[in-house]
């Protein structure tokens, strides 16, 4: 029963590739070029979340770039705090980044046209937010991971680090969702948000890689994922137990109400019967008196 419950909780089974990280080489030819128009279905809001590990002091350390190829980008997200660029406005948070090279950390960026504010999370905590230009994202543009998206690559944009679980979501994630996601590299929080992904880590892993971009172990396994899922299943089992208790209480209450209604109905019927019998006695007496008067 428990295995069936766990299987039902996860939208799909993990494949081995989903648990792999990617290591980018440190030349201008090492990047991933994704298909055009990825953001077309979500031009008014998004969240981008990923685990990264910087391996050297890159100048811009571009994780993701979304641009048409010859004009300024709509999105440039970096892993050293210098670039948190959305719709023509940059939020430099370099002083807030205190993670040394060679250590995994979690980044999230959110943005929405309801406020035109971009917010940056580092390891689950907000480290900065700022206003952007007031327009939606352009559509049909190209997206690159690990370098700038223009056809002409530049050494200033090299990422050259490790990346894991980069996903793009079609809405602004809540702070609690981001905190749960950042609490454990092997969390299944991303899987619980599968229905709102416009780019998944599985998409990234299966995309064409240019130069030296290789799959490496992330340290996560299906065992780790199952352990996290088991913890969630325990919480769900508690919820189910509470629901069962509530339904039992409700059933007992309904049974009591039914019994009370039955007693009330019986009492009402008995009283009605008594009243009818009295009426019949009265009618019988009146009838006898009428017959007696007629005979007289």
Low-confidence stretches of the chain (pLDDT < 50) are 1-14, 223-225, 227
Give the pLDDT score at 245. 83
The whole-model pTM stands at: 0.72
The 10 Å CB-count burial string (b at 16+, else e) for 11-42 is eeebeeebbbbbbbbeebebbbbbeeebbeeb
> Which two tokens mark 92?
């430099």
Contact 101, 94 (CB under 8 A): no
Average pLDDT over the chain, rounded to an integer = 87
Give the pLDDT score at 10. 44
Give the pLDDT score at 260. 86
> Which two tokens mark 71?
């004009």
Residues whose CB falls within 8 Å of the CB of residue 238, separated by 6 or more in sequence, listed in order: none
């Amino acid at each position: 029963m428990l295995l069936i419950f766990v299987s039902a909780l996860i939208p799909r089974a993990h494949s081995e590739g989903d648990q792999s990280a990617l290591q980018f080489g440190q030349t201008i030819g090492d990047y991933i070029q994704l298909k055009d128009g990825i953001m077309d279905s979500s031009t008014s809001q998004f969240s981008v979340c990923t685990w990264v590990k910087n391996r050297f002091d890159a100048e811009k350390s571009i994780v993701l770039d979304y641009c048409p190829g010859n004009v300024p980008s709509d999105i440039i997200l970096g892993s050293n705090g210098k670039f948190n660029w959305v719709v023509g406005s940059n939020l430099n948070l370099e002083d807030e980044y205190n993670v040394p090279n060679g250590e995994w950390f979690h980044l999230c960026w959110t943005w929405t046209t309801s406020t035109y504010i971009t917010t940056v999370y580092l390891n689950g905590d907000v480290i900065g937010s700022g206003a952007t230009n007031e327009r939606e994202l352009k559509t049909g543009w190209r997206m690159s991971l690990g370098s700038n998206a223009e056809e002409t690559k530049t050494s200033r944009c090299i990422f050259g680090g490790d990346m894991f679980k980069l996903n793009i979501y079609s809405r602004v994630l809540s702070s609690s969702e981001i905190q749960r996601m950042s609490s454990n590299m092997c969390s299944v929080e991303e899987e619980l948000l599968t229905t709102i992904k416009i780019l998944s880590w599985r998409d990234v892993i299966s995309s064409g890689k240019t130069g030296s971009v290789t799959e490496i172990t992330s340290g996560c396994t299906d065992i780790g994922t199952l352990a996290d899922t088991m913890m969630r299943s325990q919480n769900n089992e508690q919820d189910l137990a509470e629901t069962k208790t509530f339904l039992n209480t409700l059933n007992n209450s309904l049974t009591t109400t039914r019994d009370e209604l039955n007693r009330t109905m019986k009492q009402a019927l008995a009283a009605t019967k008594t009243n009818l019998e009295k009426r019949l006695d009265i009618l019988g007496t009146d009838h006898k008196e009428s017959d007696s008067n007629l005979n007289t």
